[in-house]
């Protein structure tokens, strides 16, 4: 990464160029998640549980830091002019890999709490029966009101949980992978860095949410491209704000 002023446009450009260099292994890896998401969508739509799709989409942002571990490793190799392999995407490397596994546990626990709470809220408003998202939510005032409250309460819980996941994972993962820091030090630096560059990091988080949400809702097959690009871009964020420290905030 060069030492120009940090910018989201530059991060995404780095993500795209890294994807082009590794498109074969990147597409194979991200296709796995695309297939899982597609099967989940199909299952929920088949049983008429359309509304349950939204908590699962929101939950993606909680576990997203876990899913980019491989892309962080590959991006680091590209920066050293090394040729990455598919193994680099799926193997957790480093002397401090216990920190990565503990972070995976924490974020997975957050995801479990989020999904559980969302389903409980769903049950309070709609019962235990699957409920397809159709015109009745517009024509039925009671259902319309329940939908609004469900989205509000579940959205608030999801937002809080996703923020926690973002603070914990956005910098701690590359710090553990590339600088071999322990879990506590990596998380501490991650949180401090987010708050130090809060405006820029807010814009980055918003960019991630907008691009990912649009992809998951409107164009799921594009996950095989969008996911690697954002994963590699996350390395550029780390490189800009924690390696090129002479950059202005």
Predicted confidence (pLDDT) per residue in 96-108, tens digit:
578 888 888 888 8
Q: Per-residue DSSP letters for 110-168?
A: HHHHHHHHHHHHHHHHH-SS----STHHHH-HHHHHHHHHHHHHHHHHHHHHHHHHHHH
* CA atoms of 180 and 184, how far apart (whole Å): 12
For the segment 113-123, what is each residue's pLDDT rounded down to a tens digit? 888 888 888 88
pTM of the model: 0.83
**What is the pLDDT confidence band of residue 56, given thresholds at 50, 70 and 90?**
confident
For the segment 129-182, what is each residue's pLDDT rounded down to a tens digit? 666 666 566 677 777 778 788 878 877 887 888 888 888 888 998 999 888 888
């Amino acid at each position: 990464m060069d030492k120009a002023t940090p910018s989201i446009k530059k991060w995404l450009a780095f993500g795209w160029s890294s994807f082009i260099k590794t498109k074969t292994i990147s597409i194979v890896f991200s296709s796995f998640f695309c297939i899982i998401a597609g099967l989940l969508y199909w299952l929920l739509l088949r049983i008429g549980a359309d509304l349950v799709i939204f908590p699962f989409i929101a939950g993606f942002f909680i576990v997203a830091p876990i899913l980019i571990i491989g892309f962080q490793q590959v991006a680091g190799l590209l920066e050293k002019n090394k040729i990455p392999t598919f193994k680099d995407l799926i193997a957790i490397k480093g002397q401090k890999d216990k920190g990565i596994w503990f972070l995976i546990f924490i974020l997975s626990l957050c995801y479990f709490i989020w999904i559980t709470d969302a389903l409980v809220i769903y049950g309070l408003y709609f019962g235990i029966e699957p409920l397809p998202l159709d015109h009745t939510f517009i024509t039925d005032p009671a259902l319309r009101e329940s939908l609004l409250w469900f989205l509000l309460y579940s959205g608030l819980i999801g937002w809080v949980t996703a923020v926690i996941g973002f603070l914990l994972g956005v910098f701690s993962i590359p710090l553990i992978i590339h600088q071999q820091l322990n879990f506590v030090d990596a998380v501490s630096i991650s949180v401090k860095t987010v708050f130090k560059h809060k405006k820029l990091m807010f814009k980055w988080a918003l960019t991630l949410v907008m691009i990912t949400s649009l992809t998951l809702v409107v164009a799921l097959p594009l996950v095989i491209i969008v996911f690697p690009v954002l994963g590699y871009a996350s390395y550029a964020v780390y490189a800009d704000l924690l390696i090129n420290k002479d950059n202005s905030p």
